[in-house]
Chains A and B, each alone.
Chain A
C-alpha cells in the first residue's frame, strides 16, 4: 500500500500504441499531497500519454496507478469525481459563453444547479473573467481561454488538478500571469497539482519536484534545485580554432570535473567556473591553441536535461504531427 500522503502513485505504467510504438515505458513515481509535480520533456516524450492514463481516458498496456487511493482502472469513476483536468487544447465551446461553458462542466459532475451557479461565479471571479462571462468564447483571447479552462477544471473542487501544458502557446506576460493563478490555487486550497510542460523555465518556476521524461522513460526525478546541484558545478563551453582534441589537456586543469567533446565544442563541468575559465584559457594558450568562443553558465534545468539525454531540450526533434498540433493550438491562441 502507498503512504498516506502520496496522492498519485504510478508503478511500471506503460502504454504501447498499435503493438509497436512504446509511448510510455515502465514509468514509476509518486506525488505527495500538496505539491506541484511536473513532467518535463520534449513533445512526443510521453507526457500527455501519461496524463491521459492518470485521468482515466486511456487504458495502460501494463502497470498500475492510483489517484487518492483509487485505482485508475478498477475505480475509474471514483478517480474522475475527485480530479480536475485542464487539457492542453482549448476545449471550451466557442459558440457558448464562458458562463455556459462552466455550467456545462458542472452538469458533467452532476453538481446541483444552485450550487453550480454560485461556484461558477466564484471561479469566474478567481480567473478574472467576470466581466466577460456572457460573451461568446470565440471572442476570448488565448490567455482568457486558458483561464476559462482552468475555471472549468475547478468546478468540482478537485483534490488533484491535472494541467497538461498549461501555458502552451501563450506569450511571456500571459504565461507569468497563469503561473500566478496556479501558485494561488496551491497556496489557497492546498491542492495537489500534476502538470506537464516542455518549458524549462516553467518547470523551474512552478514545480516542487519534477520528473524528466524522454522517449517514454523517466530519466531523473527530484526538486529542480537538487537536480541542478547534482550536476556539481558550473558549465563552461569552449571552442578552439584548431581541430585537435584537447579534452585531456582541459581535464588536467584545476577544478575541472568533466569534459565532453561535442563536435569541436567542449562542454566542461567545473567548480567555481568564474575562476576556472581563465585557467583553462591560460592552459590552452600555453600549448599553442586559440580560444574562439567561451561561455559560462550556472546550471539550469537545460544543463540537467543535457546531462541526462546528451542533447538540449530545445533542439529535441519533434514529430511532424506534434508540430502540426502545436501550430493549430497556436493559431487558436493568437486569434481574437
Chain B
C-alpha cells in the first residue's frame, strides 16, 4: 500500500453520490424477496378486494331488477280508441324485460357520465396506483429516521458527498419503488379485467411514471424534512395515518369529484392525488384528452416544485445545524 499522506485527489460528484446512496436503498429491498412480495401483495389486496367488492356496476345492471315481477295487464276492449271487442292482454314478463333493458342502458349511461368509463373496477384499479404512490413514498422517506439514529447519516455527512445527494437519494428511492409498484398494479389489474382505452400505448407508461415522480418528489421531500426533525420514530407514522385518509377520500381515487358535496369538491380539486389519478386514467382507461392531461401535469409540476423547495430548505437547515 502506498503512503496515505497525499491529499485525496478525487472530487465527489453529485450524481455519483446520489446514485451510490440510491443503489444502497434499492439493494436493501431487492435482496429481500419478502419485502418485494409485500410491495406486490399490498396493492393486490387493496385492488382485488376493494376494487372487486365495490361492484357499483352490478347496481345498475339488469340483475338488480331480477326480483321484480310485474303481473299481466288486462285492458277491456271498450277502453281502447277506437273501442274493440274482447280484452287486450300485455304480459308482465314483457314489461319486465323492457324495463330491465331500459335500466341496463340507463345504468351504462349513468356509469359513463359519473366515472367516465362503464366499468367501476377499471376506475378503481387506477385509483389504487395513486394510493400506493402516497403510501410508498412517505414510508420510504421514514427510513431517514433510522439512518440518523444508527449514525449512518452523521457518517455520510462527514464525507464530502453533496448534502443534496443525501436527500435526493431518499426521494429517488421512494419514487422508484412507487413506479415499480404502479407497474405491477397496472399489470395485475389488466389480468383481472381492466379495460384499456383504445388510445393506450406502452409509451403512455412513461407519462404515468413522470406523474408519479412529480407527486412522489413533492410529498417525500416534505416528509423527509419532517422525519429528520422529529425525535421519535412514532411521529412520522402518526403523520402518515393522519394525512392518508383525507388525501385518499377527498380525491377522485374512489369516487368522482363532481358528485361530491361542494365543500369537499374544493378540497378534492387541490388534492394532488386527484390530478395524479386523473393523469393516470387519461393515460390508461379514458380516451386521451390532451388538454386535461396537460393541466394535470402543470398542476403536478407546480406542486412538486413548491413542496420540494420547502422540503429541501428545511432539510438543508437541519443538515447544516
Interface residues of A (CB under 8 A from B): 52, 55-59, 77, 80-83, 85, 87-91, 93, 95-96, 100, 104-105, 107-112, 115, 122, 126, 152, 154, 156-159, 162, 189-191
Contact indicator A108/B20 (Cβ below 8 Å):
yes
Q: Do B152 and A93 touch across chains, with their CB atoms under 8 A apart?
A: yes
Closest to A17 in B: B321
B27 touches A110 (CB 8 A): no
Q: Check B321 against A108 for contact (C-beta < 8 Å).
A: no
Q: Are B28 and A93 in contact (CB under 8 A)?
A: yes
Q: Are B27 and A56 in contact (CB under 8 A)?
A: no
Supply 12 further A-B pairs (C-beta < 8 A) apart from A159-B4, A159-B5, A189-B5: A57-B157, A87-B155, A89-B151, A91-B150, A91-B151, A107-B16, A109-B160, A109-B161, A110-B13, A154-B4, A156-B10, A158-B4
Is A81's CB under 8 angstroms from B7's CB? Answer: yes
B12 touching A110, Cβ below 8 Å: yes
Asked if residues B158 and A96 are in contact (CB atoms below 8 Å), the reply is: no
Given contacts A58-B321, A157-B4, A189-B4, contact A95 B17 (CB under 8 A): no
Size bracket, chain B contacts: 20 to 34
| A-B contacts, 30 listed (Cβ < 8 Å) | A52-B154, A55-B158, A58-B321, A59-B320, A59-B321, A77-B160, A80-B160, A81-B7, A81-B160, A82-B8, A87-B155, A90-B151, A91-B152, A91-B154, A93-B24, A96-B24, A100-B27, A107-B12, A107-B20, A107-B161, A108-B20, A109-B12, A111-B10, A112-B10, A154-B4, A157-B4, A158-B4, A159-B7, A189-B4, A190-B5
**Are B24 and A108 within 8 A (Cβ)?**
no
Contacts of B156 in A (CB 8 A): 108
Interface check B32, CB cutoff 8 A: yes
**Most chain B CB atoms below 10 A, which of A108, A109, A112:** A108
Cβ of B263 under 8 Å from chain A = no
Across the interface, B158 reaches (CB within 8 A) one of A83, A115, A122, namely A83
Which of B4, B21, B152 has the most A CB atoms < 10 Å from its CB? B4
Give the complex CA separation of A190 and B3 in angstroms.
9
Enumerate chain A residues within 8 angstroms of B6, measured Cβ to Cβ: 157
Interface flag for B11 (CB, 8 Å): yes
B1 located at the interface, meaning its Cβ lies under 8 Å from any Cβ of chain A in the complex: yes
